[in-house]
Chains A and B, each alone.
Chain A
Amino acid sequence: AQSVTQLDSQVPVFEEAPVELRCNYSSSVSVYLFWYVQYPNQGLQLLLKYLSGSTLVKGINGFEAEFNKSQTSFHLRKPSVHISDTAEYFCAVSRASGTYKYIFGTGTRLKVLA
């Protein structure tokens, strides 16, 4: 079975500062990895995903994430955040084959301060 751990439940950061949201996963089989964002009172939207190839994945809104197989991590980064980035961010994992069950982490609430 797969699992996802997001160690930080809340991350406050000042506007224009860099941010890293941490995600670690566990799986005995090959997986695909995702980051989704949820703005208040909305459904989740895909930020980026890693399927294969380059371990550095670039997504929307200036976010990027790096897949590290040896450390089983998929941390999300942005070099300079904006107030509008305030939202909840979810890391998710799915088996690379077979069931389409997505396992989501518990989320990290990013609060960007002026």
Chain B
Amino acid sequence: DAGVIQSPRHEVTEMGQEVTLRCKPISGHDYLFWYRQTMMRGLELLIYFNNNVPIDDSGMPEDRFSAKMPNASFSTLKIQPSEPRDSAVYFCASSVGGGRKSTNEKLFFGSGTQLSVL
């Protein structure tokens, strides 16, 4: 299994531009999470999906952020327009059953997308 795949690994863009981050979860996983990691705020949950449906988006910072999951094998996180304060590492994670119900369940994280907004 290739694990959770995120693209691109690095993204450098200018303020005001649209940025799209992509995630391919592990096949068979029914939960998908988007996290943002910064030095100041640590790891923050932005949104999570269950069976492609957004369940909790209370962590999405502003209307400039949007996330979609059109099918079980693909999700996007879009920032439009981007701002320098959006610079961070964005992680996608997937799991079976939310990652907590049994000792075998856990979140599988991708390698992240390092976003720099100039």
Interface residues of A, Cβ cutoff 8 Å to B: 32, 34, 36, 41-46, 49, 51, 90, 94, 96, 99-107
Contact = CB atoms under 8 A, between A and B. Distances in A.
A102 B33 contact: yes
A34 B93 CA distance: 15
13 contacts: A43-B93, A43-B108, A43-B112, A44-B43, A44-B109, A49-B106, A99-B55, A100-B56, A100-B98, A100-B100, A102-B99, A104-B42, A107-B42
Contacts, number: 60
A43 to B, nearest CB: 3
A90 B43 contact: yes
Nearest to A96: B100
B103 interface: yes
Interface of B: 4, 31, 33, 35, 41-45, 48, 50, 55-56, 91, 93, 98-103, 106-112
Given A32-B100, A90-B43, A101-B56, A45 B48 contact: no
Contacts of A94: 99-100
Contact of A101 (B4, B48, B102, B103): B48
B103 A44 contact: no
A96 B98 CA distance: 11
Contact of A100 (B42, B55, B106, B111): B55
Contacts of A101: 45, 48, 56
A29 B16 CA distance: 42
A63 B4 CA distance: 25
Nearest to A4: B42
Nearest to B110: A43
A103 B56 CA distance: 13
